Amino acid sequence: MPRLLLLRAEPAAGRTRRAAERLGHEVLAAPIFEIVPLRGRLPRPAGSYALVIAASESALAMLDPADRAALAGLAARVVGSRSGELAQGLGLRPAAPLHRTARDLAAAIPPGLSGPVLYLAGEHRQPEIEAALRASSVEFDLVEVYAARAAARLPEEACAALRGGTIAAVLHYSPRSAETYRLLAEAAGLLDAALAPVQLCLSAAVAEPLEKAGAKRLRIASAPEEERLLELIPGVDGE
């Protein structure tokens, strides 16, 4: 049974761990980020927005409770099925089909909106959505509602497992997470051990910092979806 190293922050880590375990895989969860609220507030009345945009579930989950309630009934465009479920739970009306990536969402911003756009985001984010909003001359408010704070060091349980060679594969979900893993492993004197397992990456962009660092055993999901990422696991302990 391949042992997987999972670096995601909670609550996403718990869902991934359960999904992997249902498939028969052993998981070592060692988060290298903590999701914290920034409590950014809406700069204008919620009812004045024509569209709400969110590229991550945390952008919705970490929104101030009073603002969440006020947004009910508004149209939304979000990335990923989990964000879609949260949006519906908040009373938003997410457009179908849901977007797979921030780039997909950016390309689908409709013209001729009747009011401004509310873009809910994290402190660290990909630039595609902001660039698309600016290029379209759409009026928008960017509200940072959460931050993913990187750990100061690689968790000791991860260090011990990497030293012992008991990790078959590492799961990577974002370029920033992959780069942080590299930096923390290097600081711990474990870069070679950290790159030795198969690196399972959600996209080519996620794999890039690992490849640059010297990782040789890379697998990239066929689409940027967790199901496709988990499909890469079989056989990693035999490579």
Q: What is the CATH number of the domain that holds 132?
A: 3.40.50.10090
Structural domain span for residue 81: 36-149
Q: Do residues 200 and 117 both lie within one domain?
A: no
27 with 50, same domain: the answer is no
pLDDT of residue 239: 57
Q: Which two tokens stand for residue 156?
A: 């000791």
Q: Which of 89, 115, 149 delimits the end of a domain?
A: 149
pLDDT at res. 104: 87
Could you tell me if 82 and 130 lie in one domain? yes
List 170's β-bridge partners, or say none. 5, 199
Does residue 10 share a domain with residue 41?
A: no
Q: What is the pLDDT of residue 1?
A: 52
pLDDT at 136: 84
Do 78 and 42 lie in one domain? The reply is yes
Statement to judge: residues 189 and 142 lie in one domain: no
Q: Into how many domains does the chain fold? A: 2
Is the domain of 162 the same as that of 142?
Answer: no
Residues 55 and 160 in one domain: no
Q: Which pTM value belongs to this model?
A: 0.86
What residues in the chain have per-residue pLDDT under 70? 1-2, 237-239
Helical H runs in the chain? 12-22, 57-61, 65-70, 81-89, 102-107, 128-136, 156-164, 175-187, 191-195, 204-213, 226-230
Claim to verify: residue 143 and residue 132 sit in the same structural domain: yes
pLDDT score, position 186:
98
Alpha carbon distance 101, 223 (integer Å): 10
The residue type at 147: A
Strand order in the sheet with 117-122: 33-37, 140-150, 117-122, 51-54, 75-78, 93-94
Do 131 and 158 fall into the same domain? Answer: no
Q: Which two tokens stand for residue 132?
A: 């698309």
pLDDT for residue 237: 67
CB 23 within 8 A of CB 1: no
- Cβ atoms of 158 and 136 within 8 Å: the answer is no
* 175-187 vs 204-213: helix crossing angle, rounded to 10: 20
Using DSSP's 3-state secondary structure scheme, residue 194 falls into helix
Q: Which of 99, 133, 149 is the last residue of a domain?
A: 149
Q: Does 134 lie in the same domain as 45? A: yes
Q: Cβ(39)–Cβ(121) under 8 Å? A: no
Of 149, 171, 196, which closes a domain? 149
| Region label for 197, one of left (φ > 0), alpha (ψ between -120 and 50) or beta (otherwise) | beta
Residues 124 and 99 in one domain: yes
How much is the pLDDT for 111? Answer: 82
